[in-house]
Amino acid sequence: DAAAAAVHDSAGWQGTAEQDYLPPPGLSPPGLSPRTAQELLRSDLASQCSRLREQAKQPNGLVPLLIWCGYTPGEEPVDMTGQKRIYTRGHVHFARWLFGQARGQICPFGVLAVTWREARACLQAITAAQTGSLEDLRIDNKRPSLTGVVGHVPPGTPPTTAVGSVVILTMGEEMHSRAVRFIGQMQLEFPLIDFQVRDEPAGPVVCDGQQGHLRDDVFTVML
């Protein structure tokens, strides 16, 4: 049926012959060198940061913030030296950070780059920040209370949170296709957030120190 065909196409198949196979959007084509794959991912993340910076119209370096979730410094799949960023070991630490941010009539400034393993729970944290309901979140005594809603938010409209873009990083085509189907659902629930699925490059991270928008390398680790 049409729905099955749409899912089939989202996984990258167009036609029935093997030669008609095309990688899903964001899945690195076979044969790419680690450096090329990392440059593609770096370009994608930088584009998301630039988009939020333009929306917020803030001076260079103040926004946006790249949020690595599921990684510690040095474990991330691409070097973003120079881009202001934080590292959260998992969804629990991400929720602690998110709950401490303003919500309401605000300009989102966060680009969440998250592993597939942590993605669903991170989206549940964003839902909790919008609705105020904590029933789907793990009990965490270190998580702060939500900040009050700022500005004017029309009745029936969820408050905007700090996250304006979510990039889910996957490994392998099966995981990638599952993530693509997942964000198809999430885009309906979070119409103001830009969702992307990207293949996590293999191989050692190539560091050139020339990327990003800050003169000094600035990052924070959320424990």
pLDDT in tens, 46-97: 998 888 888 766 554 446 899 999 999 888 999 888 888 999 999 999 999 9
Q: Whole-model pTM?
A: 0.79
The verdict on residue 207 lying in a domain is no
Strand partners, 113: 68, 167
CA-atom Rg of the chain in angstroms: 18
> Which domain range does residue 186 map to?
55-74+82-109+130-164+171-196
The verdict on residue 8 lying in a domain is no
Residue 132, pLDDT score: 93
pLDDT in tens, 126-151: 999 999 999 999 999 999 999 999 99
The verdict on residue 66 lying in a domain is yes
d(CA 53, CA 32): 30
Beta carbons of 96 and 219 less than 8 angstroms apart:
no
The verdict on residue 178 lying in a domain is yes
Letter for the amino acid at 55?
A: Q
The verdict on residue 22 lying in a domain is no
More confident residue, 41 or 61: 41
d(CA 135, CA 150): 23
Beta carbons of 84 and 66 less than 8 angstroms apart:
yes
Task: Over range 185-209, report the average pLDDT.
Answer: 78
The verdict on residue 149 lying in a domain is yes
Strand partners, 162: none
The verdict on residue 9 lying in a domain is no
Name the 3-class secondary structure at 22. coil
d(CA 101, CA 78): 26
State the total domains in the chain: 1
The verdict on residue 30 lying in a domain is no
Measuring CA to CA, which residue among 209, 212, 213, 205 is closest to residue 72?
205
Confidence grade of residue 23 (pLDDT, cut at 50, 70, 90)? low
Only one residue has tokens 């605000």, namely 106
Residues in the chain: 223
Beta carbons of 136 and 128 less than 8 angstroms apart:
yes
